[in-house]
């Protein structure tokens, strides 16, 4: 046979051909991207709306039901399901396989645009998310220790920033719920004697704690921007906020409330080996190698 004759008569040439195939094969294998899941686009998306302070029944009646009825008119929608909980409404949409999700998201956004003015004033604007399997985290980690939770949260934020700079990482963030906050604890008895309501105090603080632009002033060839600086800079400024008056005498916030620095209320509990911890996650870019990203993350985090 011709192949046999060539192999016998030209052994060096055949050896070089096979050596070239082996070398190119090795190069291809070492540079081949590795993913946890195939590149598949699921025809799904969901709409999320926050409504702080509202219960599940109110959210279902005022937000979830109207959204479900409106989104039922979107083309290629095959199924609509929803989950309503305290402060949150989630509506899931499933489309026909092969549907263009970019066009579908534009249709959903148009429908929600007409509906948004009829939603409660305190509800957030609808947020649309496509279900992308490539956005699943490739690395999840925890940072723990017997230290202050605020200090631990700062350590996790610093680590997330370091991991964000790794080649191939799309996003890195910690899931800490512990943050500093200013707590204003009203005294019901003192508040009742002044006739001031909690809603009035909230409105006054919101109106005071802003920076407001006033326009520009032209001076020669320069334009200067003018604005009022009203944001609070320390606790004393908050305490000295005038929230009302009694017989012409100003009433300060410190007279009807205790203003102090604190931390947010802990609503979840995380433990690693019995010690308090905070967990985080790393997402890779779509074209990045999963194995390389995970290896570099472990190397940067010191594990």
Domains of the chain: 41-134 (3.30.70.1430), 137-179+266-300 (3.30.70.1320), 180-263 (3.30.2090.10)
**Comparing C-alpha atoms, which of 107, 129, 133 is closest to residue 46?**
129
Per-residue pLDDT, 36: 60
Per-residue pLDDT, 270: 81
Q: Which segment of 48-52, 153-157, 204-208, 288-292 scores lowest on mean pLDDT?
A: 288-292
**Cβ-count burial 21-34 (b if 16+ within 10 Å, e if not):** eeeeeeeeeeeeee
For the cut 60, the answer to whether the pLDDT of residue 109 exceeds it is yes
Per-residue pLDDT, 249: 84
- Of the pLDDT bands very low, low, confident and very high (cuts 50, 70, 90), residue 90 is very high
Q: What are the residues whose beta carbons fall under 8 Å from the beta carbon of 148, sequence distance 6 or more?
A: none
> Which SS3 state, helix, strand or coil, does residue 59 take?
helix
Going by the DSSP 8-state scheme, the letter that residue 116 receives in this structure is G
- Of the pLDDT bands very low, low, confident and very high (cuts 50, 70, 90), residue 150 is confident
Q: Encoding tokens for residue 88?
A: 């949150």
With beta carbons less than 8 A apart as the criterion, state whether 252 and 240 touch.
Answer: yes
Per-residue pLDDT, 180: 81
Mean pLDDT score, 145-151:
82
Per-residue pLDDT, 91: 92
Mean pLDDT score, 112-121:
86
- Of the pLDDT bands very low, low, confident and very high (cuts 50, 70, 90), residue 206 is confident
* pLDDT > 70 fraction of the chain, expressed in percent and rounded: 92
With beta carbons less than 8 A apart as the criterion, state whether 243 and 253 touch.
Answer: yes
For the cut 60, the answer to whether the pLDDT of residue 303 exceeds it is no
* pLDDT > 90 fraction of the chain, expressed in percent and rounded: 5
For the cut 70, the answer to whether the pLDDT of residue 20 exceeds it is yes
Could you list the beta-strand ranges (E) of 145-299: 169-174, 180-186, 211-219, 222-229, 242-246, 249-252, 257-263, 271-272, 275-284
Mean pLDDT score, 232-253:
85
How far is Cα 270 from Cα 142, in angstroms, rounded to an integer?
9
CA-CA-CA-CA torsion sign (23, 27, 29, 30): positive
pLDDT tens figures, 261-279: 887 777 777 888 888 888 8
Average model confidence (pLDDT) across the chain: 83
For the cut 60, the answer to whether the pLDDT of residue 1 exceeds it is no
Better-predicted residue by pLDDT, 282 or 290: 282
How far is Cα 53 from Cα 123, in angstroms, rounded to an integer?
10
For the cut 80, the answer to whether the pLDDT of residue 302 exceeds it is no
Mean pLDDT score, 78-87:
89
For the cut 70, the answer to whether the pLDDT of residue 182 exceeds it is yes
With beta carbons less than 8 A apart as the criterion, state whether 153 and 270 touch.
Answer: no
Mean pLDDT score, 33-53:
76
Q: Which segment of 76-80, 134-138, 145-149 scores lowest on mean pLDDT?
A: 134-138
């Amino acid at each position: 046979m011709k192949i046999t004759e060539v192999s016998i008569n030209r052994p060096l040439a055949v050896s070089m051909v096979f050596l070239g195939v082996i070398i190119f094969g090795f190069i291809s294998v070492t540079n081949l991207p590795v993913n946890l899941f195939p590149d598949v686009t699921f025809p799904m998306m969901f709409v999320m709306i926050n409504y702080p302070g509202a219960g599940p029944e109110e959210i279902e009646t005022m937000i979830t039901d109207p959204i479900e009825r409106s989104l039922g008119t979107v083309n290629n929608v095959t199924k609509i399901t929803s989950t309503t909980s305290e402060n949150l409404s989630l509506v899931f949409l499933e489309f026909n396989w092969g549907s263009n999700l970019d066009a579908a998201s534009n249709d959903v956004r148009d429908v929600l645009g007409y509906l948004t003015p009829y939603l409660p004033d305190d509800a957030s604007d609808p947020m649309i998310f496509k279900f992308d399997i490539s956005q699943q985290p490739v690395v999840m980690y925890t940072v723990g220790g017997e230290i202050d939770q605020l200090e631990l949260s700062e350590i996790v934020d610093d680590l997330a920033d370091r991991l964000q700079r790794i080649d191939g990482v799309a996003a890195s963030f910690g899931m800490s719920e512990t943050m500093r906050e200013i707590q204003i604890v009203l005294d019901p008895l003192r508040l009742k004697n002044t006739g001031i309501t909690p809603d009035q105090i909230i409105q006054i603080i919101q109106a005071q704690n802003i920076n407001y632009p006033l326009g520009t002033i032209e001076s020669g060839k320069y334009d200067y921007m003018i604005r009022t600086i009203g944001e609070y800079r320390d606790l004393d400024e908050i305490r000295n906020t005038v929230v009302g008056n009694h017989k012409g005498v100003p009433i300060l916030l410190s007279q009807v409330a205790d203003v102090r620095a604190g931390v947010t209320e802990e609503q979840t509990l995380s433990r690693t080996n019995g010690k308090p911890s905070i967990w985080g996650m790393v997402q890779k870019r779509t074209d990045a190698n999963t194995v390389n990203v995970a290896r570099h993350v472990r190397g940067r985090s010191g594990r």
